[in-house]
Structure 1
């Protein structure tokens, strides 16, 4: 008797749906590294996923990671004031869609410039600070220093408030030694230099704030000539930092403060305006007798005659 052995049945391979790894299963370190490579324009949408996402998106570790991988972005903030009710906005850029062949062709056909992907988003807050001319950007924070913008009813103030651009929240920081109004401000090496915005005889006429230690220290005596540059009786002043020296001027004279040696210098009687830097060289325009002035690495002035 022949016994036939039936071959074993072949097991059917059922196709399983691909399993996706949940982002929430990743460690915070890996998640931060991934989020750091994504444009900030996507963060508002990502923040609604979960509380853990929101906490990661506003963490200092994320912005340190963005700096480390070279994905920092510049953002525009605008303050509009009407009837003493200032409102702050930031320019929101609509994230780009995934590009396909069809969308690329459509983009090439559109030659007109549109602002459909741009909008000003209101920053929600219950306590907006006064609008100040003395505003500085330090990292991802905006410092609003002293009194409000020049009006007939504006008053000096020693208050300093900070807008955290990561969380869009305001907080107070140590006040200045002296109350000021539309003072000259300049940032150098993690320190904020504040000059004028007060009376000629008021002390201290100039002070410096260390953003690391969060402390204010008065600067050395400047003399009457320098103090006059920060009074209302003169034209609007300007201030710029060039290689460790803080240059400030009005229509009468230009001065400088050497941050490394804590001394004051009289530079020139000519008025310099519209400063810009190109390849490490600072260029200014003098309105009389109409020539350019420039300095390299904070050294001696050079002159370029027009025409």
Structure 2
């Protein structure tokens, strides 16, 4: 049993709808008012329409469709503030076949959109850029791939993009100055300085190797000065720096403009923090016990002592859901046992797989707020259903209180209901896109 809706926009196609040949000749013979306007003026007018209106307009003619699907229109809508933000969510285990399934969340309702049959089942990195979602690398039959897919969020059509230079699984990927930087996800080869990272230029559709940062070239710095490239656990962009966490729970940052590494310290706090995202130069993260943490990184790096727990009664209610959610982590009991025994995560294979992408939900930026997902068993004992829920969180900096950050729940609702005996859902990726 799966309850969902199909997105009406997913029918928007690049192909012209069938029509009578005589009507087509008449239409081509008489240009529309839109075609008679200068391109810049036409795009400026169209930028003010809603996404649903643009979808309807795309069916009028081939010229209208070319305007609607142009990257210039997407950029103009963002610049003018008319772009609409939509969360895109990728699940595995919601259908009998292993193909990851993509959905769009609109007004607390989830809608199925076309998925790519060749998308790696796990281990990819996702980045939103220019009304599209790039799915980078991943694991296919246990092997890393260099393939890159692009989901056009205006037409919900998939395209193949130029492959990376190096196969990567679970890399860090961030958007900096209009380019996609991909770090790690490959073997730590000390003899090769060209594999650790690469950058994609969407204008030229080319990948270039990143130069080896200076601290990585200085032998006296030692291996602890950079993350383990084969096991990056989390990554997030703060300002112009890409922050990373490796499987040893050590935090680092990389500055593309300076081509330089910096590092914090190994997080010695009791509960593991993961699923980082950034809002207004503040880092947010979800702990293994369902708590939400906040940190303000400094120029010198990120220190464990800088993390503050987000307080408030709504956060206490949310913690109870996240702590027991199988979308957040597979086997919360094992994580608790490991933490109580103070077992290093990199020495526990059962917990290491829990930290890799795809083993839990992602905190997702949604404007200045955050989306978070969890699952709950509901119904009678012998006929339970599994509800996947989503909540939008907002945060306020506190003054005059014993705590620094206060969290509120803007809305919360179940977005998907499935049969837990037939399907075992896993939230692979979630990303917000301006369309």
Which interval holds the TM-score relative to the shorter structure?
0.5 to 0.7
Runs (5+) with no aligned partner, structure 1:
1-21, 94-114
Deviations 1:211-235 (A, max 9, x none): 3442321340636446662335xxx
Closer, same or farther in 2 for the Cα pair 1:297/1:40, shift >3 Å? farther
Show the counterpart of 2:386.
Answer: none
Check if 1:215 corresponds to 2:215: no
Residue 243 of structure 2 contacts residue 252 of structure 2 at CA under 8 Å; is this kept in 1? yes
Counterpart position of 1:252: 249
Q: 1:141 aligns with which of 132, 137, 145?
A: 132
Select 2:113's aligned residue among 116, 122, 143: 122
Which residue of 2 is the match for residue 53 of structure 1? 64
Measure, in 1, the Cα distance between the counterparts of 2:294 and 2:77: 38
Point out the structure with the larger strand share: 2
1:269 to partner: Cα distance: 1.8
Q: Tell me if structure 2 keeps the 8 A contact 1:196–1:227.
A: no
Q: Secondary structure of 2:44's match? A: helix
Cα contact 2:226–2:261 (8 A) shared by 1:
no
Q: Secondary structure at the match of 1:175?
A: coil
Partner residue, 1:262: 259
Q: Which has the higher contact order (CA 8 A, sep 6+)?
A: 2
Unaligned runs of 5+ in 2: 1-29, 217-221, 310-401, 403-435
Per the alignment, in what secondary structure is the counterpart of residue 34 of structure 1?
helix
Structure with more helix by fraction:
2
Does the 8 Å CA contact 1:205/1:227 hold for their aligned counterparts? no
- Matched ranges for 1:57-72 at <5 A: 57-72=68-83
Paired positions, count: 255
Q: Distance in 2 between matches of 1:227 and 1:298?
A: 17
TM-score calculated relative to the size of structure 2: 0.50
Decide which moves more: 188-197 or 207-216.
Answer: 207-216
Give the ranges of 4+ consecutive aligned residues of structure 1 lying more than 6 Å apart after TM superposition.
290-293, 304-307
Tell me what 2:99 maps to: 85
Q: Which structure has the larger Rg over C-alpha atoms?
A: 1
User: Do the aligned partners of residues 294 and 210 (structure 1) sit closer, same or farther apart at CA in structure 2, a change above 3 Å counting?
Assistant: same
> Whole-Å Cα distance in 1 between the matches of residues 147 and 47 of structure 2?
34
Q: Is the contact between residue 183 and residue 197 of structure 1 (CA under 8 Å) also seen in structure 2?
A: yes
Q: CA RMSD in A?
A: 3.7
